[in-house]
Amino acid sequence: MFIRIIPVGKIHQQILDAVQSELQDRLDAKCKLMDKQDVPDESYNQWRKQYNAEVVMNTISRSLSGKFIDKNIPTLILTDADLYYSGLNFVFGLEDPEKSTAIVSIARLKPEFYKERPDAKKLLDRIVKEVIHELGHHLGLDHCHNNYCVMCFSPSVQDVDIKDKSFCKECKIKMMTKGISTE
């Protein structure tokens, strides 16, 4: 599997390196790091003081239009923007199968967002879980009911912390039936 990674906003190289390494190890993915982009101004909602995840993905996808035609190669957008999506107060990530694009925000994955001391290890762990979760959707997996499976829906950061970086046995079987090997 090949994955394009686009940093949007301020994403430290340490995060990009860790994500690429984990995707290589866990999904046998080859990653191509694309040029950094700014968070699209039109995605900002001044009343919410957040960015619309769908608008960010659409704007970035349009900027790539014509450059990449293979929808089988997913694009992963990593951003520091605090995201929301239709009807939800916030989202850690979102995947759009039509555009073969996923977005993950690190804003609410940072311990300091919750008035905790910065913890790089905890942050990277959370980011990797959400990245693998969104790419799992790209690979055709739905949310899983197993609280420890990376595909479990996480409405809070505590739920992210509970789950593993791995797919449960049932999700692994679903992936194997599609010819995809994990770990």
Give the residue numbers annotated as catalytic, written as ranges.
134
Per the CB < 8 A criterion, the answer to whether 104 and 32 are in contact is: no
Residue among 90, 117, 104 nearest 18 (CA)? 104
- The angle that helices 120-138 and 13-27 make with each other, rounded to 10 degrees, is 50
Four-residue CA torsion sign, 155, 160, 164, 165 = positive
Helical H segments across 30-119, by residue range: 53-64
Q: Phi first, then psi: what are they for 65, rounded to 5°?
A: -50, 130
Other beta carbons within 10 angstroms of residue 20's beta carbon come to 17
